[in-house]
Amino acid sequence: MPDDAISRYGRAFALGVTLNVIYVALEAGFGFWTGSLALLSDAGHNLSDVFGLLVAWGGHALAQVSPGRRRTYGWRGSTILAALFNALILLVAVGGIVWEAARRFTTPVVELPGMTIVVVAAVGVVINTATAMLFLRGRKHDLNLRGAFLHMAADAGVSGGVVVAGLGVYYLGWAWIDPITSLIIAAVIFAGTWGLLKGSTNLAIQAVPEHIDPVDVAGYLADLEGVAEVHDLHIWSISTTETALTVHLVKPHVANEDEFLCRLKSHLHEQFGIGHVTVQIERGGGPACDQAPRDRV
């Protein structure tokens, strides 16, 4: 990630955390003052997402730490752990929303204190939407930033649900609209979180990133001039933005290995977005190579 992007997202995390901490304090204060369970529940959900934002920020910051003797890739993998942790936090939040909605079906909340709840929740919609927009572009290329975006978008949706429920109860007396809206929001959050959970879990177990087709990569390598066999091909993510590859190529005749490797690495980066490439060239194997186990492609 370029230095200007690193700095930009660092400021985005700082601004997002600050705005949301202030809003959580404001919403909780009004919740206690009005006795509104809706506002207190939303404040609790917002607080969990502040924690999620801090986790994403921590992963983003650790990824910038320089490599060392023990951690030769630095802390880049922390972005994967942050994305996975954020997905789990979101699922817990969804469970909390569903639990609260089920409780309200049996004990409807009909005493919402007027427009105060609507106004406070509307402020939450604005703040959370603005925070989500800070990560809108980065979510397409970085799973950790996607987690931050989903947290803030989910918060905006929940606050919007509080606004809708408040208006419905205030003007129409429809107590049931509160839990119904909560369930709809929970379903939307779950749908977005499932992809984040699946993607982060795959990266955590070093699966091939979703945007790369290993069959295409293997086919490209096998079609290289002079390559007789491709084996021990591994493609995995170092972080949520960087991909690595290792492979053995059986190539009996190599005229210029340096030029061949430079061209190969350049093409893998341009065509597949793989930036860390390690290639072992074998002339045709021997007794030692034949005895070693191989992952054939």
Label each residue of 63-111 as H, E or C.
Answer: CCCCCCCCCCCCCCCHHHHHHHHHHHHHHHHHHHHHHHHHHHHHCCCCC
Query: Above 80 in pLDDT, residue 221?
Result: yes
Best mean pLDDT range from 67-76, 152-161, 266-275: 266-275
CA 48 to chain centre: 16
Residue 250 bridge partners (DSSP): 229, 282
Average pLDDT over residues 43-69: 76
- What is the predicted pLDDT for the residue at 234? 94
| Residue predicted with more confidence, 22 or 62 | 22
Q: How many CB atoms lie within 10 A of CB 23?
A: 24
Q: How many CB atoms lie within 10 A of CB 37?
A: 17
Spatial contact of 42 and 121, defined as CB atoms under 8 Å apart: yes
- What is the predicted pLDDT for the residue at 217? 94
Torsion angles phi and psi, residue 292, rounded to 5: -75, 140
- What is the predicted pLDDT for the residue at 184? 77
Share of the chain above pLDDT 90, in %: 13
- What is the predicted pLDDT for the residue at 175? 65
Best mean pLDDT range from 167-171, 223-227, 238-242, 255-259: 223-227
- What is the predicted pLDDT for the residue at 289? 54
Average pLDDT over residues 245-249: 93
Domains and CATH numbers, the chain: 3-204 (1.20.1510.10), 214-291 (3.30.70.1350)
| Residue predicted with more confidence, 258 or 100 | 258
- What is the predicted pLDDT for the residue at 246? 93
Going by pLDDT thresholds of 50, 70 and 90, the confidence category of residue 71 is confident
Q: How many CB atoms lie within 10 A of CB 25?
A: 12
Nearest by Cα to 128 from 110, 148, 107: 148
Query: Above 60 in pLDDT, residue 278?
Result: yes
Average pLDDT over residues 179-205: 80
- What is the predicted pLDDT for the residue at 287? 47
Average pLDDT over residues 53-62: 76
Measure the CA–CA gap between 193 and 197, rounded to whole angstroms.
Answer: 6
Measure the CA–CA gap between 190 and 209, rounded to whole angstroms.
Answer: 22
Question: Where is 234: in which H helix or E strand?
Answer: strand 229-237
Spatial contact of 86 and 148, defined as CB atoms under 8 Å apart: yes
Torsion angles phi and psi, residue 236, rounded to 5: -150, 170
Query: If you average pLDDT over every residue of the chain, what do you get?
Result: 78
Spatial contact of 97 and 185, defined as CB atoms under 8 Å apart: yes
Query: Above 50 in pLDDT, residue 250?
Result: yes
- What is the predicted pLDDT for the residue at 215? 94
Average pLDDT over residues 201-228: 89
Residue 282 bridge partners (DSSP): 250
Query: Above 90 in pLDDT, residue 216?
Result: yes
- What is the predicted pLDDT for the residue at 222? 92
Spatial contact of 17 and 53, defined as CB atoms under 8 Å apart: yes
Going by pLDDT thresholds of 50, 70 and 90, the confidence category of residue 73 is confident
**For 126-157, what is each residue's pLDDT tens digit?**
988 888 888 887 766 777 777 778 878 877 88
Question: In sequence order, which ranges of the chain are alpha helices (DSSP H)?
Answer: 3-34, 37-62, 78-106, 115-134, 143-167, 177-204, 214-222, 257-272, 287-291
**For 113-124, what is each residue's pLDDT tens digit?**
557 778 888 888
Query: Above 80 in pLDDT, residue 279?
Result: yes
Average pLDDT over residues 64-93: 80
Query: Above 60 in pLDDT, residue 5?
Result: no
Query: Above 90 in pLDDT, residue 292?
Result: no
